[in-house]
Structure 1
Amino acid sequence: MSTYTKEEIAARWAAHLDKQMVELPNTQLQGFTPVYRNAAFPDDPKSVLPYDAFLHGMSKNPQANCFGHRPWDAAKGDLADHFVWRSYQEAHDEATALGSTMCQWVEEGLLEPRGNDGSVSSPKMEGWTAAYWGNNRPETSILSLSLAMYSRVMVALYDNFDAAGSVYILQHSQSRVLLCPSQYVPLVLRNADKLPALKAIVLVDQPENQNLMIGEARKEQLIREWASLHQIHVFHYDDVVAQGRKSVRPHLVSRDPEALSLLCYTSGTTGLPKAARILNRNAACAIDGMRWIVNDQEMVSISYLPLAHILERGWQLFIIYMGGSIGFFSGKIERLSEDMQLLKPTMMPSVPRVLNRVADQIQAQMDAPGLKGKLLTKAINAKLANYEATGTITHALWDRLVFRKVRELLGGRIQFVLTGSAPCRKDVLNLLRVALCVDVREAYGQTENCAYATFMAPNDRHVGCVGPVNPGVNLRLRDCPELGYLSTDKPCPRGEIMLQSNAVFGGYEGDPKKTDETLIDLHDGRGKWLATGDVGQIDQYGRVQIIDRVKNLVKLAQGEYIAIEKVESILGSLPLVQQLWLYGDSLQPHLVAVAVPDPDAFSHFVRSVTGRSVSKDDTAALEEACRDPKVVEAALREFIKLGKNQKLGSLEQIRALKLRMEPFSTENGLMTPTMKVKRQAAAKILKKDLDELYAQAPYDLSKVQASKL
């Protein structure tokens, strides 16, 4: 097991940019590629358990900033314009106090299950589950640390989960304690009969104003009285911590690598969420390996991606291991830029939809009238040309003259941006690299591999991939003959991505059938392999490119199969739209689509088609344009043109289109909390639209010509 200096890490990556993965000899199996390992770091990183990762970060400086947030400013009735911080030592002591009070609850019998149906056992001091529901905040991470200290299990719920999904998770996980803002308590109490394990709710609201009128009751008092009817106890977070400080209990840290530390629930695109069992060893595999990928630098990160998602949880653990600081956003995504300008982070985990928004802000500045817009456009084009030629993202003149102000959008100090969860457009990656002078890299992972699978190498300017496999991870591709992807394909082998490492999860809680479908023994002496369901190819640089999904096949009436997500990702890159949902029916001969236009791009598009000026803020006018047959046909032609340029087959083209300004969202039941379309739900909710689309004559593809390159 090797330890590398900062300089050695940089040198090893630089030496392997042309061939970033190596094949292990004598690992070829029929129907599979050989096993691939990281070329720069073929050895395994050391194993670091989650609690030990915190101790490692704290050992660098116990008084360093750990968790920060914007406090409430009562005088102005809004969040303060600064962050306040818990040090590592303060976070450690607070987590100990929180866990100590929970120890007292076990001793006093307060967490004994309600009822006597036998489905929930009496709690021991270790091993039971606590949940957090709400926006990211320091208390979430304090709870996670506390549960690790006392060998308990964490569950986090997306703040935008619907009632049915949230109640199911609390029930399925048998959560005994729930931390949440008071806004979620009524929903929980209305479903208390379904939650026999739940015995304590800890409120993380701001303490209430004590100046009440005669006869008024405090909100917490009302909640407590309602909860008591269901034998559920309600506490305020500050009171729980204060109680624990009076009687600190010794830690009960489990260092068993197979011990369960987290139940991470998938978002449920096709049904109820599945509970992935994240074990101690899963996070332990990734923590030090991430250091080899990101390398040592100042680490101040913004926390805004949901902590219920494995990407944010893994990223936070890495930042803490490195002794960095995590500032939590205000809770409103529209204020994220404001939060970042106050925090001035150096690191930012992200997803494509956020980066697209940043890129749109830059593009809007480029399109602005006058000298500033022209100057920014000239600077961007000059830097892009220089980047293509040399790989350099800095420029002595333009950075000082123009891009300092652009960088201020994200606080002015960003050095590193990670993006995952979905492919990011190449033009967005390149634009952000030169405009922000920042290292933007794509990564690939899943809940089932603790978000630790592949990561772009530093200084790799060839975007459009997710990099080589991470240190400590084995990868091979499995033939998908029904899709036409084979491990023997030339020049790039293709197939379903299979992964094996200590980062691979322990199966799905209570679902052995699904576990056996996902974790497969190839009898190669390496243990079970994770079948990811993603189709990849290995490019000429030894990097992984995600090109398809195994299961998202739609069979059309002709008997032909269409890889719906692959086509959707290609056509969804059209700048005119922000969302695209493709639909195919086995009783119909062609594909149709529902698209949500981008208001800014769509307003310009409508003017070019109709000659009418429409403001991007005039929702009624944009909705009217969505119903204009000329506009719809013109948009459909743009999709068809793009499809022809990208060499899509005729059956992969959209033949009828519906435009709507209302986005797909969790509120209207069309999206999961991780912003993936609920395909089955969408087909039911949008049935009327689909019927209308299939009632139309399919558009004649011969009317549209591909662009001349």
Structure 2
Amino acid sequence: MSVELTPEAVSAKWAAHLKKQMITVPNSKKPGYTEVYRNALYPTIEVNEDTFGLIQQTFSQYANEKCLGHRPFDENKGDLANHFVWRTYKEVDLERTYIGSAISSWVENGLLDPKQGEGTTKPEKSGIAIAYWGPNRPEASVINMANLSFSRISISLYDNYDAAVSCFILQHSHVRVLFTSSHYVPIVLRAADKLPELKAIVLLDIPGPKSLPLFEIQRSELIREWAKSHDVNVFTWNEAIAVGQANPHPFIPPNRDTIESFCYTSGTTGLPKAVIIRHSNIAFGMAGLQHILPEKGLVSISYLPLAHILERGWESFILMTGGAVGYYSGKVDRLPEDLQILKPSAMPAVPRVLNRVAAQIETQLAAGGIRAALLSTAINTKIKNYDETGTITHAFWDRLVFRKVRAKLGGNLRVMVTGSAPCRKDVLRLLRIALVVDIREGYGQTENMAYATYMAPNDPHIGCVGPINPGLELRLRDCPELGYTSEDKPYPRGEVQIRGGSVFTGYYEDEKKTKETFDGDWLATGDVGQIDQYGRLQIVDRVKNLIKLAQGEYIAIERVEGIFASLPICQQVWLYGDSFQPHLVAVAVPDPPQFAPFASKVLGRHISDSDEAALESAANDPKVVEAVLQEFIRLGKSQKLGTLEQMRALKLRMDPFSPDNNMMTPTLKIKRQEAAKILRKDLDALYEQPPYDLSKVK
């Protein structure tokens, strides 16, 4: 980075601007739009480095420091070891060189050439496409660095993609080499006739036993024979490393306009779109982040999907600033264990993760006894201090109580960012004082490299996503059909539009969708925002996800759903509205550890959180359903939801929404249209019930 700024210096600069975080461009007001807003501290920025220069500098400066880590498998223990093993930057430097050289060698030998008359060479204008499909692991980062260093296009597939979507992406992006595990190879080879450009598969399986019983052969050998029949070569990771080591090739540095990756959107309403991310987008984001997050040498955990833009951007930031990334064990229920072993100093989070942490604290409060009373006193004292002074620390209570809360996430966090969906203000405030971390909300999309807005350091006024990031511009477009205009009082409101160096140039091979996404040279985000009194953006609605009820009222379904999602006894909630009906209904999935004691109390008998039959029975018991519905309504009232925003009927189901049952995308967003089709009988039954009387709940 060209500008060296310390965290203390950046915080001090922002402290003087917390009451005015954005400025307007003179004479920029146009009919139907607000004025154009820029960051108050950094209206413009200089981008002096390119991505290749940044990564080369990092490898040189931090050669002997920790870079990528994972928990190895302990043969004696029969489980993962209770420690991380690390590759240094120097070791990762060698691996990315070997992997990149191996692919160059295969290109020279003609091994990656498609058959005559098959395929297309469109991506070769910027370099061939290389894909990774698998769980979070260090090799994925090595592959991305190799692709960057040799001007190749990176493609990441979500670990839970189904066969149809994954094969569409491999075909659409013209992938030549796929790095994956043997688990996914059958899916690929069954579709080999539709993937004429796929010429090599590199297996990332853990090696099996060296000696096998008579007449048995390695799984990799079976895969090789099957792949060979489709003219696809198969290598192991170590074999690819050996090829590159024996055939070194020079780097092919990208220029600013070189395509870095196709980042596929989640596809809530159809096949995913390929967002074209160029090296200039990444370099711009890295240059701007130093002005709002100047930390270096952070240790972070990788647990969000590798194909998600938040995880991709965050890992790039950590590794380009000399930090280390430890990869979690691969199982969400073991994430707390991974955190306590890794002890990260930074991590990204999404609201559903934060809601679960807050729910655990609330459960402890509800348990009663001396510990609950002590925790309640500590929380109330710190919240009072926070509301009065904005401070998140307390010399006595942090040491006595919150040290144990912090320990659940490793005890070493000092940087935490949340995004992808709004986080409730009370949840964010609780976690700031309980974790003693300045958790900051950000806002962004795949289409702007997740670099759009970010809260200022130590801003005590939560409930926003901060000002526009350094170097970008923001404006709001009137949405009169929804009741939002630039003339609204006290704050201007409208669709958020963004312009600047992090904004993408279009969707690959989809000119129609590209035109629909832009308003001139402005990215139209589809989110409705308002500019508050401090010059910060607040997301208040979604242009496309509004539900119109029978009486003509619009409901921001996702915003309301986000409020209900924080109820501890349920792990998922889906709110549904029909334009022919006057009220909302909901389908929720209970969280067994929280739901079991709740249902036990309602029914007057013990229900174990591991007794699936008993949980299923409780979820269908009218008394339990009504009790849970009352909790949702009570939560809604506490958050000042309007009468029409409250759910008036509820269905509980123990089977979660998931990509496996086609009701969620790989990014864990509900596919509303698909869910409505699958749950049509339940929805019809809910609307046959009289709407619940809200006056029953105080």
Q: After TM superposition, is the score higher than 0.5?
A: yes
Alignment correspondent of 1:220: 220
Alignment correspondent of 2:507: 508
Could you tell me how far apart the structure 2 residues matched to 1:155 and 1:245 are? 24
Change (3 A) 1:623 1:35: same
Change (3 A) 1:111 1:566: same
Gaps of 5+ in 1: 522-527
Give secondary structure in 2 for the equivalent of 1:439.
Answer: coil
Alignment correspondent of 1:668: 661
1:87 and 2:88 aligned: yes
Could you tell me how far apart the structure 2 residues matched to 1:564 and 1:72 are? 44
- Give deviations 1:60-99, integer Å, cap 9, x for gaps: 2211111111222222222222222222122111111111
Give secondary structure in 1 for the equivalent of 2:432.
Answer: helix
Change (3 A) 1:561 1:472: same
Structure 1 residue 649: deviation in Å?
4.6
Could you tell me how far apart the structure 2 residues matched to 1:371 and 1:33 are? 54
Could you tell me how far apart the structure 2 residues matched to 1:619 and 1:689 are? 21
- Give deviations 1:367-408, integer Å, cap 9, x for gaps: 456543433332222222222222222222222222222222
Change (3 A) 1:268 1:123: closer
Could you tell me how far apart the structure 1 residues matched to 2:118 and 2:206 are? 37
1:210 and 2:210 aligned: yes
Change (3 A) 1:492 1:613: farther
Alignment correspondent of 1:159: 159
Alignment check: 8 A CA contact 1:479 1:486 kept: yes
Greater shift, 484-493 or 288-297, is seen at: 288-297
Alignment correspondent of 2:37: 36
Alignment check: 8 A CA contact 2:123 2:174 kept: no
Alignment check: 8 A CA contact 1:130 1:175 kept: yes
Greater shift, 199-208 or 616-625, is seen at: 616-625
Alignment correspondent of 1:232: 232
Give secondary structure in 2 for the equivalent of 1:349.
Answer: strand
Could you tell me how far apart the structure 1 residues matched to 2:72 and 2:13 are? 44
- Give deviations 1:5-62, integer Å, cap 9, x for gaps: 3243222101001111111111111111111111122221425432222123223221
Could you tell me how far apart the structure 1 residues matched to 2:40 and 2:609 are? 49
Alignment correspondent of 2:257: 258
1:450 and 2:449 aligned: yes
Alignment correspondent of 1:399: 398
Alignment correspondent of 2:171: 171
Alignment check: 8 A CA contact 1:269 1:677 kept: yes
Alignment correspondent of 2:63: 62
Question: What's the % identity of the aligned pairs?
Answer: 59
Quick one: which amino acid aligns to residue 222 of structure 1?
L
Question: Which of 523, 544, 547 pairs up with 1:551?
Answer: 544
Quick one: which amino acid aligns to residue 439 of structure 2?
V
Pairwise CA RMSD of aligned residues?
Answer: 2.2
Alignment check: 8 A CA contact 1:106 1:124 kept: no
Quick one: which amino acid aligns to residue 92 of structure 2?
A
Structure 1 residue 546: deviation in Å?
0.9
Quick one: which amino acid aligns to residue 223 of structure 1?
I
Alignment check: 8 A CA contact 1:112 1:123 kept: no
Give secondary structure in 2 for the equivalent of 1:311.
Answer: helix
Change (3 A) 1:386 1:646: closer
Change (3 A) 1:122 1:320: closer
Structure 1 residue 576: deviation in Å?
4.2
Quick one: which amino acid aligns to residue 392 of structure 2?
I
Alignment check: 8 A CA contact 1:22 1:36 kept: yes
Could you tell me how far apart the structure 2 residues matched to 1:416 and 1:38 are? 22
Q: How does 1:424-439 map to 2 (within 5 A)?
A: 424-439=423-438
Change (3 A) 1:366 1:637: closer
Structure 1 residue 643: deviation in Å?
4.3
Alignment check: 8 A CA contact 1:48 1:287 kept: no
Alignment correspondent of 2:411: 412
Could you tell me how far apart the structure 2 residues matched to 1:83 and 1:125 are? 40
Alignment check: 8 A CA contact 1:111 1:123 kept: no
- Give deviations 1:98-131, integer Å, cap 9, x for gaps: 11111111111111114x4543349969611010
Alignment correspondent of 1:199: 199
1:632 and 2:625 aligned: yes
Could you tell me how far apart the structure 1 residues matched to 2:184 and 2:599 are? 42
Could you tell me how far apart the structure 2 residues matched to 1:220 and 1:295 are? 45
1:622 and 2:615 aligned: yes
Quick one: which amino acid aligns to residue 250 of structure 1?
P
Quick one: which amino acid aligns to residue 647 of structure 2?
I
Structure 1 residue 188: deviation in Å?
0.9
Quick one: which amino acid aligns to residue 66 of structure 2?
N
Structure 1 residue 163: deviation in Å?
1.4
Alignment check: 8 A CA contact 1:113 1:121 kept: no
Give secondary structure in 1 for the equivalent of 2:113.
Answer: coil
Alignment correspondent of 1:99: 100
Alignment check: 8 A CA contact 1:51 1:145 kept: no
Alignment correspondent of 1:291: 290
1:492 and 2:485 aligned: no
Could you tell me how far apart the structure 1 residues matched to 2:163 and 2:172 are? 14
Structure 1 residue 637: deviation in Å?
3.8
Structure 1 residue 480: deviation in Å?
0.8
Aligned residues: 697
Could you tell me how far apart the structure 2 residues matched to 1:370 and 1:17 are? 41
Structure 1 residue 227: deviation in Å?
0.8
Alignment check: 8 A CA contact 2:297 2:322 kept: no
Structure 1 residue 627: deviation in Å?
1.8
